[in-house]
Structure 1
């Protein structure tokens, strides 16, 4: 990363951020969508199962109403003394089957039919009498509006279709049982029966039957998704409807020993909904199963409607949503990557162009090159604006540098002139660089002051001074108002005047010297003559002195 340029680093960071962010978003979005789709599918399954369960419940509840109406009709007739005919009762049963096509049979079983009818005298040849002559009609729907009538077996409180109602003394439903019709056909039945009670005594039982085959066929025709199926179980755990028909009418435990699956019955008899995922009993595929219990009347006894749907079927929509989301997300990600890469290339190109332009400009500033190339970005975006501003500043800086160079070169020229002794030269170039412009002005002012205080051309001063050193004071500095130049000129004038005066004094002195020499000669002659006289005088004096000394010594001796 350290060796990569900024554009590449930014591209990698952006792509990494985009991929990570979008990937995270895709993951959680897909996860949520998948979970929502799964929940939606499960809710659909539950709603469907509940709808079919309520349909079955309405059938059971309607069956209860039918049985109650049969009991009420008979009990009311007995209590009120209404004269009911046997043919009328049979027609009443046929009408019940006609209005409730889901019912297979309707029947009346009397332990004692004398409460309602006269004793059988053997004259009636209708087939609804038992061998003992008890009126026990069993009406069976054969379809197409046809009904068969036969007698119910002799009243036996232990019979499977009578016992629950007699024991409970209210509407009851039996376990599924196998019933052999008079024609020898065996039918798997469920009976809903209610007791006929007179003076607290059960005198008979009325009921209706429906075939589990009919229910099984109807339930088996229902399909959820592609192969999802419904199954139905009664409160004792007997299979009422299932695609594995060998288990119909038998305990559910005959089909499976899986405790998870058997939870349908365990939870259902408690009135609790139940769902789970395990292998389907039909084909072994992983499936989602939901069970919904519905009550038979108000007996607190629950039937269970269950549905099993292969996971890959009910999650197909969720998978499609997830796959679409993934594909769409990858497409979006690809587009984003392409857009980012394209823009990053433009960004990298612009940055490289700006970088190259700036490096060239800095090389120009550092005198490493003689010129610089403008940044060539024609866009109207930030980079174009930046390049335009940089180019404008480069041009301004170039002009400033050129002005500075011209000014500096002019300074060099003036310095060379000053070195040559010409103090009348000035820096003429200008610049917008305030520092250099101020320095130029100060330098020019210094030269102006130097010229005013010294001279215009130092060479002339040197030349004059050189003449002066050779005692030639005749020359002067012409056309120069410098104070030093004027002072030198004045000095030359003074020296010349002084020399003129000295010359005059010299001539006078020469004449005086000559006169003096003549007088000296005369003096010398007189001096010589005086010297000789002096010598003579000295000798006389010495002689006198000697005489005096002798006289003194003589006096001394005389005194002693």
Structure 2
């Protein structure tokens, strides 16, 4: 295949085509790779923003709004009107099912603990709640709220007893200020166990390993997709990595890139995006880098398959195009071989002209070959006629006709020169000998028979003239001898 011109053209074209496709595919893959990374990071960032907003609404906007209303309503009520205060606290607890709403007063540490009851409360206790001798004014959340003069969100804790034993909570607080004076703190517990249920709607099929988790102001993970992860050694390694990043970068949001070692010793290359809340919590969304690479590899395979298909289709198309374009060359090759056979007298018939409709270089070349074949054929025909006439002339010369000449004009310059030489030679022979050697031979034959009465008719050649002169002289000599003999007889 590759010995023919079409095969070489096809091979060269396909090679160039393959290089072009490979280069284009490579750069396209690199671009797609970057686009996929940007896309997936964008998905993670969007997931982070959605989850962040969901938590911030609960722990920030919503909680602070409820606490401000609580504080505003409480300072309007007489401190000793416990029933009215409990009604206010119960109304707040019922809004979003806060497990516990608490009020602690600064002057005497008296406390109201109002628990949420899903069945509703018909009668409220008129008594202060017993805290078992614990002064809640010494609690960190109370002290910090008092010092800051603003609401806070506490680190997450696990309830150790009671109705909510084993459940995780965070406390949101707000200072009570009456007539510009700090008089206590109001707060309520917020359950954090249901946060992961919210995050389910943020998951997507593109990043199946996506995980959203939360750390509190102490840097401890308190909400994670897998049960049993919180407080485990695996959680500790993630907490350490995140703490290190937060300590180095000092940014509210950023990227965390780390290796996570599973319980069975498997190392997972993770990439995460984090964002810190104003109240000290941090939310993180992570995914395995294999989610990225699997998509990139799938894209690479698709690119290779597409490139292979394009190369195969391109090779077939190029093959047939080259074959179509090279077909006139094959016809020209056949024509030239037949023409050379004709020139070398291997064939007596000139090849028929090649008819091509194309007007490109091949068409012009075919037209030039056709014209040259026609001229060569006509020239060879002229040469053949000249040679034929030369043979006829030579035969006439053999028969004694020195007036015979080669009249045909050959196409071949060498034959023309040979014709001129032969005709000049015949002119010379005619001039030196005569026009008819048969006539001269006839006269010589008569002379050999001692018949000198004849002569060469129309003698022009030198030999003819000399022959006639010789005959004339012999006749004169014989006549003189005859006259002399007659004279002797008469005497």
Do they fold alike, i.e. is TM over 0.5? Answer: yes
TM-fit CA distance, 1:140: 4.1
SS at match of 1:256: helix
* Aligned mates of 1:85, 1:67 — CA distance in 2: 19
5+ residue gaps, structure 1, are: 114-131, 519-560
* Aligned mates of 2:123, 2:349 — CA distance in 1: 119
1:358 aligns with 2:305: no
1:411 to 375, 380, 390: 390
1:137 aligns with 2:112: yes
Check conservation: 1:267, 1:274, Cα contact below 8 A. no
SS at match of 1:161: helix
Which region of structure 1 is more displaced relative to structure 2, 261-270 or 210-219? 261-270
Check conservation: 2:210, 2:285, Cα contact below 8 A. no
Map of 1:79-118 to 2, 5 A cutoff?
Answer: 89-97=85-93, 99=95, 101=96, 103-112=98-107
SS at match of 1:208: strand
2:176 to 179, 190, 196: 196
**CA shift digits 1:383-413 (9 cap, x unpaired):** 9947964456545534433433333333343
Map of 1:365-384 to 2, 5 A cutoff?
Answer: 365-371=343-349
Q: 1:377 to 1:59 in 2, by over 3 A?
A: farther
1:239 aligns with 2:221: yes
SS at match of 2:212: strand
SS at match of 2:214: strand
* Aligned mates of 1:458, 1:102 — CA distance in 2: 150
**CA shift digits 1:38-68 (9 cap, x unpaired):** 3312221222222222332233330234434
**CA shift digits 1:246-266 (9 cap, x unpaired):** 243x48874436965665655
Check conservation: 1:164, 1:174, Cα contact below 8 A. no
SS at match of 2:136: coil
Map of 1:491-510 to 2, 5 A cutoff?
Answer: none
* Aligned mates of 1:95, 1:139 — CA distance in 2: 10
* Aligned mates of 2:239, 2:444 — CA distance in 1: 134
Partner of 1:116: none
Partner of 2:141: 161
Check conservation: 1:19, 1:333, Cα contact below 8 A. yes
Map of 1:249-268 to 2, 5 A cutoff?
Answer: 250=231, 254-256=235-237, 266=247
Partner of 1:290: 272
1:212 aligns with 2:192: yes
Rg bigger for which structure?
Answer: 1
Q: 1:449 to 1:224 in 2, by over 3 A?
A: same
Superposition TM-score, scaled by structure 1 size = 0.66
Partner of 1:229: 211
Partner of 2:310: 332
* Aligned mates of 1:337, 1:504 — CA distance in 2: 107
Once superposed, what is the RMSD of the aligned Cα atoms? Answer: 4.9
TM-fit CA distance, 1:309: 4.6
TM-fit CA distance, 1:426: 3.4
Check conservation: 1:353, 1:375, Cα contact below 8 A. no
**CA shift digits 1:203-223 (9 cap, x unpaired):** 311223211212244336653
Superposition TM-score, scaled by structure 2 size = 0.74
